[in-house]
């Protein structure tokens, strides 16, 4: 049984059908990719899978449990974390503080406005370990707003990782990154694959074809193709594209 499954997802905004009978399946321990051109419905799909939008029809299950229509926080409590295409960091706070507030034990006990977050040594140690994992060791005291764009992306992935998720969703992690930062991010995602189940939405096909175990292609709000990167490359039009040339 797949770790995460979506079956027959249909979603409409007013007169517009945005998702049409979407079936997706993500295996544990794999990196699954979702790609599609701009406006294809990728982020809407992510929002339905992670509880921000309730589907009009269809069913979403995590480890066999029906999580369709649960709120985003209820889904997060079951072990699904996500990053956002548009980053949402506390820019005035340090990278370490951004991570500490994302730790489940800190969130569970609430915050005290008169106490410095980093005064909790145990939480600070755990947050530092996550920062190191995403390649931000040494930047603990840097304001999030002062980090380079690629570092902010890594920090957001770290925040998602802080909840120790069973499944990590990354929404367009290369968005706005240059080629050097994209290469560093690819190394980070490659490293995460070792011990996490990851789903990545991307429009950067090169990035996804290099990393994913399986890829689902979304267009017109529908899954128009899926398979391994090698199987998808067999397509004659893919072979004659820039992607085929790079393969």
Partner 1 sequence: MTGSVSACSGSDAMAPVLEVRGLTKRYTRGLLFRQETFRLTADLTFDGSSIVGVMGPNGSGKTTLFELITGSNAPSTGSVRVMGRDIHKVKHRERDRLAIHYHQSYQVRRFRRTRPSFLMQAAGHDYPMVHLFDEPQFNTRDGYIGFMLDFFRKLRREGRLVFLCLHPNEPWHLELMEEVCEQTVFVQGGRVRTYHDFCSSLRDPDLRDYLGKLAPRDAK
* Site residues, partner 1 (CB under 8 A): 8, 15-17, 20-21, 23, 36-37, 39, 57, 205, 217, 219-220, 222-225, 232, 235-238, 240-244
Nearer to partner 1, 20 or 140 (CB): 20
What gap in Å lies between CA 50 and CA 71, rounded to an integer?
8
Q: Which residue number, 169 or 209, has a Cβ lying nearer to partner 1? A: 209
Instruction: Tell me the closest approach of the beta carbon of residue 229 to partner 1, in angstroms.
Output: 11
Provide the sign of the torsion angle of the four alpha carbons 91, 39, 225, 3, taken in this order. Answer: positive
Judged by beta carbon, residue 13 or residue 111, the one nearer partner 1 is: 13
The minimum distance between CB 243 and partner 1, in angstroms, equals: 5
For tokens 């193709």, the residue is 225
Question: Do residues 174 and 182 lie in contact, with contact meaning Cβ atoms separated by under 8 Å?
Answer: yes
Shortest distance in whole angstroms from residue 36 CB to partner 1: 8
Give the relative orientation of helices 121-133 and 149-162 as an angle to the nearest 10 degrees. 120
Could you tell me the smallest distance in angstroms from the CB atom of residue 65 to partner 1?
A: 22
In contact, 216 and 209? CB cutoff 8 Å: no
Residue 114 or 237 with smaller CB distance to partner 1: 237
Instruction: Report the nearest approach of partner 1 to the CB of residue 39 (Å).
Output: 6
Buried-exposed string 10-37: b where 16+ CB fall within 10 A, e elsewhere: bbeeeeebbbeebebbbeeebbbbbbbe
Reported in sequence order, the residue ranges of the chain that DSSP labels E, i.e. its strands, are 4-13, 16-26, 31-35, 57-62, 65-66, 80-82, 167-171, 198-202, 214-219, 222-227
Nearer to partner 1, 57 or 77 (CB): 57
- Of 116 and 240, the one with the shorter C-beta distance to partner 1 is 240
Shortest gap between Cβ of 48 and partner 1 (angstroms)? 17
């Amino acid at each position: 049984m797949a770790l995460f499954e979506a079956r027959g997802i249909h979603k409409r905004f007013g007169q517009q059908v945005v998702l049409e009978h979407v079936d997706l399946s993500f295996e544990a321990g794999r990196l699954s990719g979702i790609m599609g051109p701009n406006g294809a419905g990728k982020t809407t799909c992510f929002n339905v899978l992670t509880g921000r939008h309730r589907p009009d029809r269809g069913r979403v299950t995590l480890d066999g449990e029906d999580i369709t229509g649960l709120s985003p926080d209820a889904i997060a409590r079951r072990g699904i974390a996500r990053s956002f295409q548009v980053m949402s960091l506390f820019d005035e706070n340090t990278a370490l503080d951004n991570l500490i507030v994302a730790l489940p034990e800190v969130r569970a006990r609430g915050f005290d406005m008169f106490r410095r977050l980093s005064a909790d040594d145990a939480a600070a140690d755990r947050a530092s370990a996550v920062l190191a994992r995403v390649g931000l060791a040494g930047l603990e005291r840097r304001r999030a707003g002062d980090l380079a764009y690629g570092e902010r992306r890594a920090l957001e992935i770290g925040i998602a990782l802080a909840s120790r998720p069973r499944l990590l969703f990354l929404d367009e992690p290369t968005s706005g990154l240059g080629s050097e930062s994209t290469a560093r991010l690819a190394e980070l995602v490659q490293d995460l694959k070792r011990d996490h189940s990851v789903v990545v939405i991307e429009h950067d096909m090169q990035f996804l074809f290099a990393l994913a175990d399986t890829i689902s292609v979304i267009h017109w709000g529908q899954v128009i193709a899926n398979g391994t990167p090698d199987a998808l490359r067999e397509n004659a039009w893919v072979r004659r594209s820039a992607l085929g040339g790079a393969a």
